[in-house]
């Protein structure tokens, strides 16, 4: 059974007198434990699909069921609670809070959950150790390299132990070596921890780390190819 099922998924909005439709009747199934890369030209609907799956945006039409829940039917408060439990988001530009240490940035999502300080500490350290950045836990973002910042961002995404990780251009601001390390980390999260990963990328090299690659154009699925050669 698929973890994520999109049926006739559509997202549209008005811009002046024009109707913009970044997703146009998309049908897609994503199995549990998949590592999916999404490619396509700018405006093809990749990030829109990512945001819908993450519960950041809502569809205009169609159905989006994640692990048996039709998330479009959830209220704003219930959607926020669902997102904090089920989805971790990795951004291209990290989105770390500059006045907080690496430890405090990773701890942030846990503040929305009922747990004591000891449990929060255990989870934060586990996440930091898993991404290999525990020794930088007291450093502020400005004291870290881009690759280290992205590792902190990934630790923040996994600290609540979500089943789904969505990543929007996770290597777009990194050099070749840092990008390779980050992609290897995402691959290990998929292979060793069984996380379902959906990644948007413009870099064909990063798709080698995924199980498969889907190409979108004008809000529709146009091509699929298998990956996982790294």
The structure tokens 């990008």 sit at: 179
- Can you list the positions of beta strands (E) in the chain? 2-15, 18-31, 35-39, 61-66, 69-70, 87-90, 164-168, 196-200, 212-217, 220-226
Query: How far, in Å, CA of 79 to CA of 49, rounded?
Result: 16
173-200 tens-digit pLDDT: 899 999 999 999 999 999 999 999 999 9
Could you report the per-residue pLDDT of 12-60, keeping only the tens digit for each? 988 888 888 999 999 999 999 999 999 999 889 999 999 999 998 889 9
Radius of gyration of the chain (CA): 17
How many Å apart are CA 75 and CA 80, to the nearest integer? 9
pLDDT > 90? residue 87: yes
Sheet with 18-31, strands from edge to edge, namely 18-31, 2-15, 61-66, 69-70
Q: For the chain, list the domains and their CATH numbers.
A: 2-226 (3.40.50.300)
Q: Where are the alpha helices (DSSP H) in the chain?
A: 46-53, 76-86, 102-107, 117-130, 146-158, 176-191
Q: Structure pTM?
A: 0.90
Residue 80 confidence (pLDDT) above 90: no
Contacts with 206 (C-beta within 8 Å, 6 or more apart), sequence order? 37, 171, 179, 183, 199
Q: Whose CA is closest to 185, among 156, 213, 161, 150?
A: 150
């Amino acid at each position: 059974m698929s973890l994520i099922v999109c049926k006739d998924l559509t997202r549209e909005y008005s811009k002046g007198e024009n109707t913009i439709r970044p997703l146009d009747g998309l049908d897609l199934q994503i199995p549990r434990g998949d590592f999916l890369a999404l490619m396509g030209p700018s405006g093809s609907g990749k990030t829109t699909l990512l945001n819908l799956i993450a519960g950041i945006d809502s569809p205009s039409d169609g159905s989006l069921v994640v692990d048996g829940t039709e998330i479009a039917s959830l209220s704003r408060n219930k959607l926020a609670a669902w997102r904090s439990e089920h989805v971790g988001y990795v951004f291209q530009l990290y989105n770390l809070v500059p006045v907080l240490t690496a430890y405090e940035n990773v701890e942030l999502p846990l503040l929305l959950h009922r747990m004591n300080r000891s449990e929060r500490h255990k989870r934060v350290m586990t996440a930091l150790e898993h991404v290999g950045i525990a020794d930088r836990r007291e450093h502020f973002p400005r004291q870290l390299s881009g690759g280290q910042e992205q590792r902190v961002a990934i630790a923040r995404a996994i600290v609540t132990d979500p089943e789904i990780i969505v990543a929007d251009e996770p290597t777009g601001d990194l050099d070749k070596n840092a990008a390779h390390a980050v992609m290897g980390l995402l691959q290990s999260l998929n292979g060793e921890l069984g996380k379902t990963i959906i990644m948007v990328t413009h870099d064909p090299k990063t798709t080698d780390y995924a199980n498969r690659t889907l190409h979108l154009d004008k809000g529709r699925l146009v091509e699929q190819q298998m990956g996982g050669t790294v």
